[in-house]
Amino acid sequence: MVIGGLESFFAKKKKKKKNITNICFIVTVFLLQTDCVAAICTEYGGQDWTEHQRTPTTTYTNHGKLVFVAICAGLPSIPPDIPSNVVGVTLQANPIIEIPGNILQHIPQVQSVTMSYNKIESVHPKAFAGLNTLQDLHLEVNKISQLPESVFHGLNSLIGIYLQNNLLLEIYPSTFSNLNQLSHLDLRNNRLTTLNENSLLPSSHAVALYLYLEGNPILCNINVCWLKDWETRNWLVPSTNIAARFQCVIGQDTWTGKKFLN
């Protein structure tokens, strides 16, 4: 669970870039040797995680590829001195509460960023500015209740965005627009009651989308019927998969408790 970000990213690249998967193996071996995997830093970097238990900030090199790792390191903020040529950054289970603007612009080659199991509440509109090669972004298990509408704009290489287990109340129009390569969008276990079609992807979306919505109190009415239309047009992965399925927790009595896309 702790290493999910890098694992999922490199798994997608396994067939195309076998050398990159070796980085994942090295990082995995390192993590399995720490107590962090079992305890996830005493509930995501809590005060009980003492100094001697914290893992060091580490940079791994393999086949010329650099990965920066700081898990259970007690970091209160994103370090400004991450090497500029890294392809992967993992900052998990630290007491990080915000992602400031332009904080990562000095690592333009990065392809995977994982900041899950932190305490992030605030994300600046330019938090990921300049990351044109970013493909996987993991922000799950934080305290994010709102995302700036332009926060992902210009990140045209994004394949996966993982926001499950946050406190999201709504998704603003065009938040995920123009991400034509996006194939995985995980919004499970938030507080979303509705989704506007314009909040997600345009009709020109290039690939089918795994859209995860389970665990949200979606109001099932005509305002979300566009999801069924998307499935018909094959913009969503067919509902025989786990993707795009959720229960109507609130709404018309005849819909409550049923799978919307059934």
**Domain spans in the chain, listed from the N-terminal domain onward:** 4-251
pLDDT of residue 119: 95
- Mean pLDDT per 10-residue interval, the chain, length 262 residues: 46 42 36 43 46 59 80 91 92 95 96 96 97 97 96 94 96 86 91 81 67 82 73 60 53 53 52
Indicate the SS3 state at residue 161.
strand
4-251, what's its fold?
3.80.10
- Read out DSSP for 197-216? GGGS--TT--S-BEEE-TTS
Pairing of β 86-92 and β 136-138: unpaired
The token duo for 31 is 């993590």
Token pair recorded at residue 185: 């969008």
Q: What is the pLDDT of residue 137?
A: 98
20: part of which helix (H) or strand (E)? helix 18-32
Q: Give the type of residue at 165.
A: N
Predicted local confidence at residue 190, as pLDDT: 95
Q: Which residue's structure tokens are 């799950």?
A: 140
CA distance 59 to 86: 9
pTM of the complete model beyond 0.85: no
| Cα gap 182→204, rounded to integer Å | 12
Q: Which residues of 141-153 are buried (b: 16+ CB within 10 A; e: fewer)?
A: bbebebbbbebbb
Which residues does residue 137 pair with via DSSP β-bridges, in sequence order? 113, 161
- How many helices (H) and strands (E) the chain has is answered by 4, 12
The sign of the torsion formed by the CA atoms of 140, 143, 144, 145 equals positive
